[in-house]
Chains A and B, each alone.
Chain A
């Protein structure tokens, strides 16, 4: 084995270690959610579904899950519409102040969520939205819409702008063009953004923690449980959140992947 190969092997081993560090908490969450023992330690105490049974028997967790799902569905619908609209405006129009327009829509993810949370709480407190699911949804849409915009905008980059003009000149109204040409073309990205924004909302805990009041979402419930003692139920919830989010992300990925392949074929 020469020096180059061993250096290569060493680097690959190092990379593996970095991935071990990143994935150890995730893997242990899933593994210990099925552990029979109360305390997550080695050796493993045997397979058990008791923690899943425990969380499904817990009314506060059920309510949290329900609230999270309601907020995620509402968020994904509104954020995807707003994101599509902003992406289309960016694609179609040139106007004075466009940079400012795009910045206002796209900037929220760069602001720390703890600050978004306080701002949301104080503001929503004034207009009577704090403590409501609507209030949480409002905050989640602000955070999720930029992701939807990015996804749709990437797709629109592949649409020849002359196609729309051609449709208009053939007598189609802008409305007919957008429903007949633009939206069908963007459909994979739109669906991907529905799933991705739902996942963003489903995992968000800081804004919801500030705003939610008694209407806790699932991650906020977890945050409250963390304050208490060691509980394998947190692992079970974590594994459940992981399963739901990953289903959404993989679905989004598959939709984007399919449209990407189709593009490659067309080109």
Chain B
């Protein structure tokens, strides 16, 4: 490509070369050094600290597996792990299914101007305080809250989702649904209209078109959306505390407790590292699922 460039480049002199190098260093080094120092190193430090010990309330550099053995063998950790994984998976699935009809309507039925407006509206929740939104949700569901005030005259019993896994999932949906609708809408918007029309012309019914044409062609985007929902829910702290009542605890609650009250940073680090490894495995698996059979299909 550079051979075809319409602007020939003159051979640079030695001093010009040094100046070019300084120039390149000025732009490339700051972001690299900053993220190395304050992102990579802290995460590396987190891993290293899982091998440290706490001796008479003081952190001591060490090379012990005790923290790993303690956490991995602890019943409360295993329960929390399974519970968190299950709730995050359920949230990804629920959010995907709840979002799909709405995303479908936005991508295929609504006018472009309406769609643009709704897409902008979906960005709004990201810039409202998430803890405040959870607080509001709590109020909605509280025994004297709006939802019960509305449904009780209708003869429907008081709903009690607060301080239960259901409450946590509702909170996870508050967190993930805007993003999932947004990503699904983009994914469905990229499905070639010609494919959809061809399916219709060949006598394919609406539901069959969705299942055999639209979903497979938007598969990558749909899976990416579900993955983001899983990642967000898996790491969230606010919903399980304020809507789930911390019972049973999720992994993020374990981390916060170990750090804030237990002051056992090495054990918290073990939980954090296990979470990161889990997320890497889940993301790799989901990407394999998203791109895996693509070649075989064509």
List the interface of chain A (C-beta within 8 A of B).
7-8, 11-12, 14-15, 18-19, 21-26, 28-29, 32, 39-42, 78, 81-83, 85-86, 88-89, 92-93, 101, 104-105, 107-108, 110-116, 118-124, 126, 138-139, 141-142, 145, 149, 162, 165-166, 168-169, 173-175, 199, 203, 205-206, 210, 219, 222-223, 226, 230, 234-235, 237-238, 241-242, 245-246, 248-249, 253
Contacts and interface: CB of A to CB of B under 8 A. Distances in A.
The B interface, classified by DSSP as helix, strand, loop or mixed, is: helix
B9 A11 contact: no
A118 B127 contact: no
B268 to A, nearest CB: 6
A245 B133 CA distance: 14
Contacts of B252: 112, 114
B163 to A, nearest CB: 14
B46 A119 contact: yes
B5 A28 contact: no
Contacts of A123: 38, 41-42, 45-46
A115 B272 contact: yes
A138 B38 CA distance: 7
A8 B177 CA distance: 22
Interface of B: 5-10, 19-20, 23-24, 26-28, 30-32, 34-36, 38-43, 45-46, 49, 98-99, 101-102, 104-106, 109-110, 118, 120-137, 139-140, 144-146, 149-150, 173-174, 177-178, 181, 206, 231, 234-238, 242, 252, 255-256, 259, 265, 268-269, 272, 275-276, 279, 283
6 contacts: A15-B106, A81-B30, A82-B30, A123-B45, A142-B35, A245-B128
Contacts of A82: 30-31, 34-35
Nearest to B142: A230
Given A25-B133, A122-B42, A145-B31, A238 B128 contact: yes
Given A19-B118, A101-B32, A42 B268 contact: no
A258 B266 CA distance: 50
Given A11-B104, A22-B122, A206-B237, A165 B177 contact: no
B140 A169 contact: no
Contacts of A112: 231, 234-236, 252, 275, 279
B132 A118 contact: no
B105 A40 contact: no
Given A21-B174, A222-B135, A237-B132, 18 more contacts: A22-B125, A22-B177, A29-B135, A40-B139, A41-B146, A107-B39, A114-B272, A116-B42, A118-B46, A118-B269, A142-B39, A169-B10, A174-B23, A203-B126, A210-B259, A226-B242, A238-B136, A245-B129
B27 A11 contact: no
Contacts of B136: 24-26, 28-29, 32, 235, 238
B39 A205 contact: no
Contacts of B34: 78, 82, 141-142, 145
Contacts of B106: 15
B144 A205 contact: no
The A interface, classified by DSSP as helix, strand, loop or mixed, is: helix
Contacts of B104: 11
Q: Which 6 A-B pairs have the closest CB atoms?
A: A112-B235, A238-B132, A25-B136, A123-B42, A245-B127, A119-B42
A108 B124 contact: no
Nearest to A253: B120
Contacts of A116: 42
B38 A139 contact: yes
